[in-house]
Amino acid sequence: ESFPAWFHRALIFLVVSCPCALVISVPLTFFGGLGGASRKGILIKGSNYMDTLARVGTVVFDKTGTLTRGEFEVTAVHPDDFNEIELLHLAAHVEHFSTHPIGEALRTAFDEIAGHGIRANVSGCTVCVGNSKMMDAIGVKWNNCHSIGTIIHVAVDGKYVGHVVINDRLKDDSVQAVKSLKRLGVDHMVMLTGDRKEVAFDVEKKRQ
């Protein structure tokens, strides 16, 4: 037995105007996504940004503390004049007050020169600890190092005494995160760093 036309019109009206499952499921999906992200330490400002994230094709990472742990450790000591213990002791003494995280890797009246390093008076000697720019600035000829890592050069009273190699460790989940993003359709990933090109390439190689 066929239903009257008014019944069909009423049924269509109910389906169109009261799609309860759709009305409830959409916000719940957003709430679930925002909550799941927050449990992973990811803060998303709102549901509209989740829509944007679904269309992302490029992701830019900072290196230190994002892909890497930001926990620096000494991986090599290359003395020129002093022995390894003396060189490391001098570097650690000067870097003790550094505001840069690399200073903590060496553990802890000094002069910090932004972008170059630190100059301090240690037992009556002027000790300069920093990068190659600092060595150039004080007129000290420094030795190149082929080890992968951040190179900390040390000079005492204008004489080069060696360098220390410091490296950061890749986070355990960095590789998996990159692979997961690729599976989700993010085909272009960029890593930003102020570190040496060799260090950046080494991290890039490890995270693939």
CA distances from 196 to 92, 114, 167, 174, 200 (A): 22, 17, 11, 20, 6
How far is the C-alpha of 61 from the C-alpha of 182, rounded, in Å? 14
Identified catalytic residue from 62, 136, 173, 187: 62
In contact, 80 and 162? CB cutoff 8 Å: yes
Residue 25 token pair: 């499921």
Active site residue 81: no
Tokens 């390439």 belong to: 201
CA distances from 115 to 51, 69, 133, 166, 197 (A): 40, 22, 8, 17, 16
Best CA proximity match to 130, nearest among 114, 112, 118? 118
Q: Classify each residue of 175-191 as buried b or exposed e, where b means 16 or more C-beta atoms within 10 Å of its C-beta.
A: eebbeebeeeeeeebeb
Residues designated catalytic: 62
